[in-house]
Amino acid sequence: MFQLIDVFWAYTLIAILILVGRFIRQRIAILKSLFIPSSVVAGVIALLLGPSALGAIIKTTVDGNSAFVNGIFPEAILTVWSKSPAVFINIVFATLFLGQSIPGWRVIWRQASPQAAFGQILGWGQYVIGLILGITVLTPVFKLPAIAASLIEVAFEGGHGTSAGMADTFKELGFAQAADLSLTLATIGLVSGIVIGTWLIDWGRRTGRIEVQQQGSLLAIDPDTVDIHTEEHPSTKAARDRLYGDLLIDPISLNFGFVGLAVAIGWLILLALGFLESITWGSGEGLKLIAYVPLFPMALIGGILVQLLLVKTNRSYMVSRALMERIGGLALDVTIVTALASISLTALSGNLLPLLILAVAGILWNVCVYVFLAPRLIPFYPNERGLGDLGQSMGVTATGILLLRMVDPDNRTGAFECFAYKQLLFEPILGGGLFTAAAPALIVRYGSIPVLLLTSVILAFWLIFGIWNCNQLRKSKEF
């Protein structure tokens, strides 16, 4: 149990840790060159100073009754942190599409369909690879539960936020250690995505696969400004300025109100789906799936619905995309720091080899798909445009955007728009979407082989469609 003052000090410590993380990151060359976010550094610091590292050392070597068996942090602070990821991840997903410019679906489809096919192949393939490993190695050899097969997609496509948000689901399904494994996999994916992506850019330039010429130094890019949003019409900005002038409210408070509305709508959708399930397919001994679905995928859908409503009523000027990115960025930083601080190193040490197998398999799959399939799925500038999806599939969306800035800082290939529009066709399903949330429960309910067959069929569909769609776009030259 904790009191409100404990919450206050818990987040005060988070703020200080982020400052310390930023200071350390700027002064350790390897962290800066790898573009490791300050929040990840802060989370690792909290982990090392907490019960799993410093506390464990003191308990075993100094005094088992010491006041520092939990590290330097009081138990109430650690309790607040352990509960925080599942809360703040809802804010992250609610902001993903709020304030985004949504063009006509024909424009979205023409520009984003190749990226969507490429991203879907990366994501569904991570399930296929994971399930094959689960059936052949993870369960029979290492005795891990079958849902370990879903960790590659949760960690690589979803990143730290999704991994943290799925913690309660993993616990309810009987594999609480999956959250720690997933968070560690997400960290491996983040680092490897940046390292491998940077190497692929250099390799692509040397071999002629990258057509856009390099301008400036890659290190001149600031990884803390990897947001992406489309330019707004001057009339929209003018209307927003008038709105802020007429209302006695801070702009960020107004925007946060729409975030709350998106989360509330998502919660109502989740309740409605739960009720529908209870009277239909989930009644009696039927399939109970919604009970294991966390709130954050529904918050994402709530954000889309709020944005569509604002556009429909000509009030989209009320939401600022730049402020939404700031709100989402803050929530993601809190999610990452608190999630990493809550990792159990004991769980990691007992599953180190399976963790490495999952990491290597996921990385190899992503790189092979980029090298061999991107030119067959994306009609023009495939190696430049594919980098965004490669980065996202090995870390977070910001990693993909960072790689796009490295390879095409002036956006001469149109990669940024295609990548942004693709999210509308991708995020609701994978990378923290509905299937990401439902996959562990499906594996527990039906077993690995039926889910492997399902994901393989979906993967085959996107592969066939992607190749056909690429050929059609090349013929029409509409892309």
DSSP string across 329-344 = HHHHHHHHHHHHHT--
Residue 282 makes CB contacts below 8 A (sequence gap 6+) with: 288, 289, 290
Residue length, the chain?
479
pLDDT value of position 53? 81
Lowest mean pLDDT among 108-112, 259-263, 364-368: 108-112
Long-range contacts, 14-21 (Cβ 8 Å, 24+): 14/42, 14/81, 14/334, 14/337, 14/338, 17/42, 17/43, 17/45, 17/46, 17/337, 18/42, 18/333, 18/337, 20/45, 21/45, 21/337
Can you tell me the distance from the alpha carbon of 302 to that of 170, in angstroms, rounded to the nearest whole number? 24
Compute the average pLDDT of residues 75-81: 90
Kindly report, residue by residue over 411-446, the tens digit of the pLDDT: 788 787 788 778 877 888 888 888 998 999 999 989
pTM of the model: 0.82
13: left (phi over 0), alpha (psi -120 to 50) or beta: alpha
Can you tell me the distance from the alpha carbon of 116 to that of 68, in angstroms, rounded to the nearest whole number? 50
CA-CA distances (angstroms) from residue 119 to 300, 371, 423, 430, 452? 18, 14, 9, 9, 18
pLDDT value of position 478? 55
Tokens of 395: 């870390």
Kindly report, residue by residue over 250-303, the tens digit of the pLDDT: 888 999 999 999 999 999 999 999 898 888 877 777 677 787 788 888 898 999
pLDDT value of position 240? 62
pLDDT value of position 121? 96
Q: How confident is the model at residue 219 (pLDDT cuts 50, 70, 90)?
A: very low
Task: Output 479 or 467, whichever has higher pLDDT.
Answer: 467
Q: How confident is the model at residue 227 (pLDDT cuts 50, 70, 90)?
A: very low
Distance in Å from the first CA to the final CA of the chain: 56
pLDDT value of position 410? 77
b/e per residue, 302-311, with b = 16+ CB within 10 A? bbbbbbeebe
CA angle 294, 297, 300 (to 5 degrees): 140
Tokens of 202: 């250099």
| Cβ atoms of residues 82 and 374 within 8 Å | no
Tokens of 94: 């609610």
Give how far the C-alpha of residue 185 lies from the chain's centroid of Cα atoms, to the nearest Å: 12
Compute the average pLDDT of residues 14-31: 91
The pLDDT mean for the chain works out to: 85
pLDDT at 70 over 80: no
In the chain, the amino acid numbered 266 is G
Burial class (CB in 10 A: 0-12, 13-18, 19+), 217: exposed
pLDDT value of position 158? 87
pLDDT value of position 477? 66
Kindly report, residue by residue over 125-179, the tens digit of the pLDDT: 999 999 999 999 999 999 999 999 999 999 998 888 888 889 888 999 989 899 8
pLDDT value of position 464? 96
pLDDT at 218 over 60: no
Which of 97, 188, 86, 178 has the alpha carbon at shortest distance from 439? 178
Tokens of 227: 């947001």
Which of 142, 152, 96 has the alpha carbon at shortest distance from 420? 96
User: Angle formed by the axes of helices 296-312 and 251-279, to 10°?
Assistant: 120
Can you tell me the distance from the alpha carbon of 147 to that of 14, in angstroms, rounded to the nearest whole number? 32
Which of 1, 91, 71, 62 has the alpha carbon at shortest distance from 295? 91
Can you tell me the distance from the alpha carbon of 373 to that of 115, in angstroms, rounded to the nearest whole number? 12
Which of 137, 55, 41, 68 has the alpha carbon at shortest distance from 351? 137
3-state SS, residue 394: coil
Give how far the C-alpha of residue 80 lies from the chain's centroid of Cα atoms, to the nearest Å: 22
pLDDT value of position 209? 87
pLDDT value of position 77? 92
In the chain, the amino acid numbered 456 is S
Compute the average pLDDT of residues 18-33: 89
